[in-house]
Amino acid sequence: MKTALTKIASVQMGFSFRSRLEAMDSGTVAVIQMKDLTDGNQVDCSGLMQIDITIPKEHHLVKPGDLIFRSRGQTINSAILNDDPGIAVVAAPLLRIRIIDHSVLPAYLNWFINQSSAQSFLASRTTGTAQKMINKEALDSLEVFIPSIERQRVITELAALAEEEQNLLNKIATKRRHYTSTILMQLTQGE
């Protein structure tokens, strides 16, 4: 089955702050910013900025399972929020995607949005020349293939294993380069 993102998820603009954010040690609200989105398409909650503001309305708050979409810049992708950040909001220009159709797994939708076919669709709808941007309407119109829940689980598990394999191969390559460099340096010194 194929359907528009707007039929399976709600997309909301990030929270707009009227002034520059001032970090506090014991703020009332955590803020998810672009720097908190990892290369592995996850949200890293370990260093969220804490600010002291009146707690926003419920619909502005994020929760585990939400996707955070990077709508500006060279990289336009989504990241999944797996951890509970407590009372937290997403800062604009990020968008929050929350699944409303329980026949779709958040991890699957996150994987799907980051695949080349979805990325090509989104890239074709970017605006701006120096700073690329995807608006909410373009994201809402993304057509999503929705297999069965079981198949979604298999896809996300295989994708996670492939990601883990790639990380291990990168570590092996780094260690091999270091080892080769050490051996070659020893050879230059006549050892």
State the DSSP string of 38-53.
-TTSBB-GGGPEEE--
- CA geometry: angle at 103 spanning 44 and 122, to 5°? 60
Residue closest to 110 by CA, chosen among 149, 138, 136, 144: 144
Residue-wise pLDDT for 159-191, tens only, equals: 999 999 999 999 999 999 999 999 999 999 887
Over range 109-126, report the average pLDDT.
94
Task: State residue 69's pLDDT score.
Answer: 96
> Is cis: bond before 93, omega within 30 of 0?
yes
Residue closest to 65 by CA, chosen among 158, 156, 165, 136: 156
Which residue did the predictor score with more confidence, 155 or 72?
A: 155
Task: State residue 23's pLDDT score.
Answer: 66
Q: What is the pTM of this model?
A: 0.86
Q: What beta strand segments (E) does the chain contain? A: 2-4, 9-13, 29-32, 49-51, 67-69, 78-80, 88-90, 95-99, 143-145
Mean pLDDT over each residue of the chain, to the nearest integer: 91
pLDDT at 8 over 90: yes
For the chain, how many residues are written?
Answer: 191
Residue-wise pLDDT for 28-44, tens only, equals: 888 999 999 998 899 99
